[in-house]
Chains A and B, each alone.
Chain A
Amino acid sequence: MAKVTIDGIEIEVPDGTSILNAARMIGGDVVPPAMCYYSTLKETGGKCRVCLVKVTQGSAKDPRPMPKLVASCRTNVMDGMVVQNITSPEVLEARKGVVEFLLINHPLDCPICDQAGECDLQNLAYEHGAAKTRYEEDRRTFEKIDIGDKIKLHMNRCILCYRCTFVADQLTNNRVHGVLNRGDHSEISTYIEKAVDNDFSGNMIDVCPVGALTDKTFRFKQRVWFTNPMDAHRDCPKCSGKVVLWMKGEEVLRVTARKDQYAEVKEYICNECRYDHKDITHWKVEGPRHIDRGSVISQNHYERIDLQKLKKEVERQLEFQKGKPLPEPNSLNA
């Protein structure tokens, strides 16, 4: 076990835990964002640099601070380590810089992007991005291509997190796509178009943090916040069969795997569940999917409201407001 302090909060975690996962055990605001790390894919992380944190004390044995900011997703905790995330202005400044870098060549076409509303980059930019860009040149562009019969690739939107290549490496038996070229001309592509046809290839869509890989059977059908997500399952010989159905009325528009609070899939699903069973009668519906209140998708959710819980929340808010002075009215003398 190792004792680690993140933003002043102490926690004991097993040896070999990354700083990011230790922060996730604490939860809340101290969790660094992650765009390329994916807990269920091995060797992901370290690339996007949004999870950079400052280590002010290496360990109890060697208390020297680390000279540079480190990627929290790939740096393991040591006993006695002290980490600063949101309490370090240096970290926030670096993170703002990384978000700016991720956005300078991103098309910002959210109004026509299917990922809008459930996009990690959108959330990240909302929290750390600047309102205006300092980039004046033309953005880099690519042609849209079909990398499989059901997957469309918008390379313009890609942030090169490499997650989809890890899916192909670890979930399917042969990878037919990868990264071509280098620098800011790098692109995800297949050598031969439409080559991706593996039975688990659809998970590439789920792990994509942005709208670069989208489901061709769902494209432009509906804004995601107008759909109702429902947990459902079926007996599937290939996968766990646990999915989320994204419904409009009685119609199943899209089937995805279930993502946790960090938008990560724990149990991957097969292409048959994803594409071939868009019929409510094929599924055993468990109930509404819990959607985080911060998400735009929650505006349409219809989870049963727990009145007791709501009452408590209102009371807590009232208690909190009680001692607060009202804002001073503007003086007219000025």
Chain B
Amino acid sequence: MARKLLLQHENVPGINTFEVYRKNGGYASVEKALKSMTPDEVMEEVKKSGLRGRGGAGFPAGMKWSFLDRKSEKPRYLVCNADESEPGTFKDRYLMEKIPHLLIEGMITSSYSLGANTSYIYVRGEYMYVISILEKAIEEAYAAGFLGKNILGTSYSLDLYVQPGGGAYICGEETALLESLEGKRGNPRLKPPFPAIAGLYASPTVVNNVETIAAVVPIVNQGGDEYAKIGVGKSTGTKLISASGHINKPGVYEIELGLPVEEFIYSEEYCGGIWKGRKMKAVVAGGSSVPILPTDLILKTAKGEQRLMTYESLSDGGFVSGTMLGSGGFIVLDETACIVQHLHTFARFYHHESCGQCSPCREGTGWMEKVIHRIEHGHGHQGDIDLLVDVAKKIEGNTICPLGDAAAWPVASAIRHFREEFEYHIKYPEKVKNPKHFELEPFVSEKSLVTA
């Protein structure tokens, strides 16, 4: 059994209440940090742990904290990004729903380290029931003296608020989140200045993902060095993976980074293999924004090495033959899945969620969706595939925030690895009229037919 740091007590009855959570060793990190450590010592532990941002970009959390402008006279803020809306990612929801006190404990310890006296948890609007869970937990923490004035009799005070979002994917981008939190339209800001210098209300701000903040708890409890022992190289610790798609056991799993991808998919402890005894076709390894990979490339890198669940191993090969760990939204597609249909779902999502501020993303996402829709429904024609590649290339890297890149990468990678399927749609429009086309007649590469 792999070590679990976050979901250790997930099956303890009543773990969502303060008493049970406290009995199982909860809030120990707050006691330890406030009573025996200075804020900088806490940050040092986080730095030593090698913890990387769990929201998708994988930026070292300790380094992000150290960028915070500590000379500024303005108040500092810690904002927890719980606007989890990436298709295929549902780990934060699970964590907040099951063990809300873990996030609150992490918020208190992290805020202490950063010197923030007001912190926010920005939760996406669709998670309405999670908001009430969090609010109840915060109430309990206030009653027990872990929040409010002079926590545990020390001079440190913290107020924690939950802010529901309006239901926009773009508000998961940190600067758009801050705009939304300030009560404005959630458009991403131009950087620089970065939030560490001028974030919420133009004050120094750190924005971290739910899982990142929760991971601070075991780091403080057992020490950064101990945490860094788990994992491989620069990918340390454990990671929550939301596994979904055509697998036997979809759900949220806590894995030690460095687990082979093959083991994750086929072992009984995790996904339990592909459902209905079918074969695997492709995997989206880190949420909808990352490049999709076919079976042979997800199990082994282009160099023939075994692929591991780490930031480095998954991105081995760059955009040509690699992908990214991203937010850990692990989507598996079996042989009956249609890549074009799957891509259309993603393209529709990005079209719907583009904020409309800068032109390439505003116009390009809609255009790509329309072209993919056309191909998928048997109205595509020659040239459409190249058009898609070109449009994706013109969006990528030319936008204010990473949403443009996130919309372009799946399109570019799907065409790179599954071009034949797109050609099939254009060649045989009659066959793809039925939305279940590949379920009725699985796609077989014409190239392999010739060689067979």
Contacts and interface: CB of A to CB of B under 8 A. Distances in A.
The main secondary structure of chain B at its interface with chain A is helix
A52 to B, nearest CB: 6
Interface string B211-240: 000000000000000000000000000000
Nearest to B400: A46
Interface in B130-188: 168, 170, 185
Given A71-B190, A183-B352, A160 B362 contact: yes
Contacts of B367: 101, 104, 135, 137
B359 A159 contact: yes
Given A104-B367, A135-B367, A48 B394 contact: no
A179 B354 CA distance: 14
Contact of B359 (A69, A102, A134, A182): A102
A146 B398 CA distance: 34
Interface in A67-117: 68-69, 71, 74, 93-94, 97-98, 100-102, 104-105
A182 B168 contact: yes
Interface centre among A69, A71, A101 (most CB of B within 10 A): A101
B421 interface: no
Task: Give the secondary structure class of A's interface.
Answer: loop
Contact of B366 (A160, A181, A184): A184
Contacts, number: 90
Given A183-B365, A184-B362, A49 B352 contact: no
Contacts of B393: 97
A98 B366 contact: no
A323 to B, nearest CB: 41
A134 B387 contact: yes
A278 to B, nearest CB: 36
A234 interface: no
Given A94-B394, A97-B394, A185 B360 contact: no
Interface in B356-412: 356-360, 362-367, 370, 374, 387, 393-394, 397-400
B194 to A, nearest CB: 14
A184 B168 contact: no
Contacts of B185: 178-179
A98 B398 contact: yes
B402 to A, nearest CB: 11
A47 B357 contact: yes
A186 interface: yes
Contact of B362 (A50, A100, A186): A186
A48 B397 contact: no
B355 interface: yes
Interface residues of B, number: 29
B307 interface: no
Interface residues of A, number: 35
Given A47-B400, A183-B351, A98 B360 contact: yes
B335 interface: no
B353 interface: yes
Interface in B293-311: none
Nearest to A184: B366
Given A94-B394, A179-B185, A102 B363 contact: yes
A159 to B, nearest CB: 7
B362 A49 contact: no
A46 B190 contact: yes
Contacts of A97: 360, 393-394, 398
B366 A183 contact: yes
A49 B387 contact: no
Nearest to B366: A184
Contacts of A46: 190, 358, 400
A308 B27 CA distance: 87
A183 B397 contact: no
Of B190, B363, B367, the most chain A CB neighbours within 10 A belong to B363
Interface in A155-203: 159-160, 162, 178-179, 181-186
A102 B366 CA distance: 12
21 contacts: A46-B190, A47-B358, A52-B398, A71-B190, A97-B360, A97-B393, A98-B359, A98-B394, A98-B398, A101-B363, A101-B364, A101-B367, A102-B363, A105-B366, A160-B357, A160-B359, A162-B357, A182-B354, A183-B351, A183-B356, A184-B362
Given A68-B398, A104-B367, A184-B354, 14 more contacts: A47-B357, A94-B394, A97-B393, A98-B394, A98-B398, A101-B360, A101-B367, A105-B363, A162-B357, A179-B185, A183-B352, A183-B365, A184-B356, A184-B362
Closest 6 CB pairs of A and B: A97-B394, A186-B356, A101-B363, A183-B354, A184-B366, A46-B190
